[in-house]
Amino acid sequence: MRGSLAIFFLTVGIAKLYGIPEFVQLFERLGVGPWLRYLVGTAEIAGATALFTTYFVALGAFTLFGVSVGAFFTQMFILRGDPVHAIVLAALAAVVLWPRRDEVVRFLGDR
């Protein structure tokens, strides 16, 4: 599952950075410049790449969970679209993250 999640986000992140018209139009509908598309695409690629490593799996899953939660709120409250795909992706990222949650806490600092 970790590999499938990584490949999906890697593909989507590259498509956003490449400027696939569907993603360009989506972010234009949000009323922001291309900077947010680049930021989200970069976060998706970084998170997906981290899932392929041993040391950064927790951080990658945490990043992808955050991206998915952001997509959920964007679909629900800004675009008024269907948030099901964001819920599914967040759940998959959470399944990868949950057994490694202590690693994220250590990485972010125990405060």
pLDDT in tens, 1-35: 899 999 999 999 999 999 999 999 999 999 988 99
Full 3-state SS string of 29-70:
HCCCCHHHHHHHHHHHHHHHHHHCCCCCHHHHHHHHHHHHHH
Q: How many CB atoms lie within 10 A of CB 108?
A: 10
Instruction: For residue 34, give every residue at least 6 positions away whose Cβ sits within 8 Å of its Cβ, in sequence order, or none.
Output: 19, 24, 27
Q: 103 pLDDT band (50/70/90 cuts)? A: confident
- Whether residue 56 is predicted with pLDDT greater than 80 in this model: the reply is yes
How confident is the model at residue 33, as a pLDDT? 83
Q: Where in the chain are the domains?
A: 2-108
Eight-class DSSP state of 19: T
- Whether residue 111 is predicted with pLDDT greater than 60 in this model: the reply is no
